[in-house]
Amino acid sequence: MFAATRIPILAVLIVASAGAAELFEFRNGFWQNLHHYAYQTAQQTDSRETILQPDAWRACVEFYRAQFIKKDLLFDEEMMRIKLALSNGDLKALSEPHADILRAAAQSYREGAWGMDSRRNQEWIATMRPLLTKHGAALSERLTEFYGVPWPEKPVVVDLVPYAGVNGAFTSLEPTHIVISTAEPANRGNSGFEILFHEASHGLIRPIQNMISEEGRRQNAYLPRRDLWHVFLFFTTGEIVKRELGQVYVPYGYKNGLYTGTWGAYAGALERFWIPVIDGKAEKAAAIEAIVHEVKTERPPAKK
């Protein structure tokens, strides 16, 4: 049973997935949600738009605007420490001014957006649980077999929040720790199920990522973007999810228009050379060699 909306503000709701060997541990934590909501609000509003809000909430937004909105949720070390601390509801791990500002703003958030955010997170969990029960074990086995990396021994923690950056989700590693926005429409239903395993696959793709880098060096290849590995990740997990859910399923990358521009060229090469690998009809190394050869371009002239 889910906790009521007006839970004590220190509570962290933890829901471990049923079945599928406890692959994930879902968390609907008050402080984590408050942190990401404040970060989003500080990005989207200015002082005039918060003038009618309680003083404590205005102060929180201003604090986030001054301290955090120029810091990336994933790549900034301080933001990563904050995320990990708040996943456990640990305000003591934050700086004293930050912890104080969150405590002061807690009542405003609890009486405002928290009810909607918490319910949306709970609904997302309820949608994922039957999908995990039916498909989770087989899908995790297929992904770990293909990527060549075992699933983490402990369930992967997934924090559910109203905002998770411009991409709607992000993952840190060692250990794999996922943050997903349940307010993002693209993260709902079967697409949300794929995103859950896409984010988990960030902890599995390192061997293939290394193969791509090594092949690029071997060919002295110039790539217009350095994130070919991320297209591999979207494409591979999407195709494996498609094989589990059924051929009518449209993978996230296609459904949400990711394969345009340079990524479109990358995906085209993957369609030709990587699908046979996924289907067990070709070897990874030969396919990566062919893909890198196809997508590399002329190195631009050095700037004078």
Could you list the pLDDT tens digit for every one of the 304 residues in the chain?
Answer: 223 333 344 444 544 444 455 899 999 999 999 999 999 999 986 655 554 478 899 999 999 999 999 999 999 999 999 999 999 999 999 999 999 999 999 999 999 999 999 999 999 999 999 999 999 999 999 999 999 999 999 999 999 999 999 999 999 999 999 999 999 999 999 999 999 999 999 999 999 999 999 999 999 999 988 899 999 999 999 999 999 999 999 999 999 999 999 999 999 999 999 999 999 999 999 999 999 999 998 777 667 6
Q: What are phi and psi of 299, to 5 degrees?
A: -70, 130
Dihedral (Cα; 80, 81, 87, 89), 10-degree rounding: -150
Cβ contact 81:93 at 8 Å: yes
β-strand partners of 181? 161
- Residue 209 confidence (pLDDT): 96
Handedness of CA 124, 128, 130, 133 (dihedral sign): negative
Burial class of residue 75 (count of CB atoms within 10 Å of its CB; 0-12, 13-18, 19+): exposed
Burial 153-164 (b: 16+ CB within 10 A, else e): eebbbbbbbbbb
As a whole number of Å, the CA-based R_g of the chain is 21
Separation of alpha carbons 206 and 14, rounded Å: 29
Helix, strand, coil shares of the chain as percentages rounded to 5?
Answer: 60, 10, 35
β-strand partners of 169? 180
CA angle 288-293-298, nearest 5°?
140
